[in-house]
Amino acid sequence: MHTVDRFIEKHHLITDGKTVIIGVSGGPDSMALLSYFMSKRSQWNLTLIASHVNHMLRGKDAKEDFEFVQAFCHKNNILFEGAEIDVNAYKKKKQLSTQIAARECRYRFFEEVMNRYQADYLALAHHGDDQIETMLMRQVRGAFGYGLAGIPVKREFACGSIIRPFLCLSKEEIEQFLAKVGMKARKDASNDSSDYVRNRFRHNLLPFLKEENPKVHLRFQYQSELLHEDEKYLEQTATHYLKNIIDERNNEKIVIRLHPFFTMPFALQRRAIHLILNCLYNSVHESISSIHIEQIIHLLESKKPSGMLHLPAGLHVLRSYHHATFSFAKKLDPQPFSYSVNVPFELELPGGVLKGRMTNEKPHFSKDRFALVADVKALALPLTVRSRKEGDRMHLIGMEGTRKIKNILIDEKVERSKRDLVPIVEDANGNIVWLAGLKKAGIGLISEQTTEFLHLSYEIHEGTANCTGRTFHNMENDILEVLISEEKIQEKTEELASILEKEYDGRFPLVIGVLKGALPFMVDLTRNMNIKLEMDFMDVTSYGNSTQSSGEVKILKDLNTSVEGRDVLIVEDIIDSGLTLQYLVELFRYRKANSIKIVTLLDKPSGRKSKVKPDLIGFVVPDAFVVGYGLDYAERYRNLPYIGILKEDVYKL
Q: Are 333 and 420 in contact (CB under 8 A)?
A: yes
Do 99 and 46 form a contact (C-beta atoms < 8 A)? no
Q: What DSSP string runs through 222-272?
A: HHHHHHHHHHHHHHHHHHHHHHTTEEEE-SSEEEEEHHHHHTS-HHHHHHH
Answer for the pair 128, 135: CB distance below 8 angstroms, yes or no.
no
Which residue among the candidates 369, 419, 507, 638 is catalytic per the annotation? Answer: 638
CA dist 228 and 131 (Å) reads 13
Question: What would the 3-class secondary structure string for 73-102 be?
Answer: HHHCCCEEEEEECCHHHHHHHHCCCHHHHH
CA 446 from chain centre, in angstroms, equals: 49
Calculate the alpha carbon distances from 75 to 31, 32, 68, 70, 117 in Å. 14, 16, 11, 9, 21
Task: Choose the catalytic residue: 231, 247, 478, 573.
Answer: 573
10 Å Cβ neighbour count for 236? 11
Please state, in angstroms and rounded to a whole number, the distance separating the CA atoms of residues 232 and 642: 36
Residue 38 CA neighbour count, 13 Å, CB half: 16
Across 259-332, the runs of DSSP E, i.e. the strands, are: 306-310, 316-320, 323-327
Kindly state the helix (H) or strand (E) to which residue 139 belongs, with its residue range.
helix 128-141
- Indicate if 573 belongs to the active site: yes
Identify any residues that bridge with 155 across adjacent strands, giving them in sequence order: 162
26 is in an annotated binding site: yes
Strands 79-84, 47-54: pairing kind:
parallel
Is 521 marked active-site? Answer: no
Three-point CA angle 45, 47, 52, nearest 5°: 145
- Based on the residue annotation, tell me whether 638 is a catalytic residue of this protein: yes
Q: Of the listed 130, 247, 412, 576, which one is catalytic?
A: 576
Residues contacting 275, CB < 8 A, separation 6+? 235, 238, 239, 242, 653
Tell me if 603 is assigned to a ligand binding site: no
Q: Is 28 annotated as a binding residue?
A: yes
Alpha-carbon distance of 170 to 215, in angstroms, equals 8
User: Which of 68, 412, 625, 632 is labelled catalytic?
Assistant: 625
Catalytic annotation on 591? no
Query: Is 498 marked within a binding site?
Result: no
Helix segments in 404-537, DSSP class H = 405-411, 486-504, 519-527
572 carries an active-site annotation: yes
Backbone angles phi, psi at 384, to 5 degrees: -120, 135
Which residue is catalytic, options 173, 231, 427, 572? 572
Active site residues: 572-573, 576, 625, 638
Binding residues for ATP: 25-30
Binding residues: 25-30
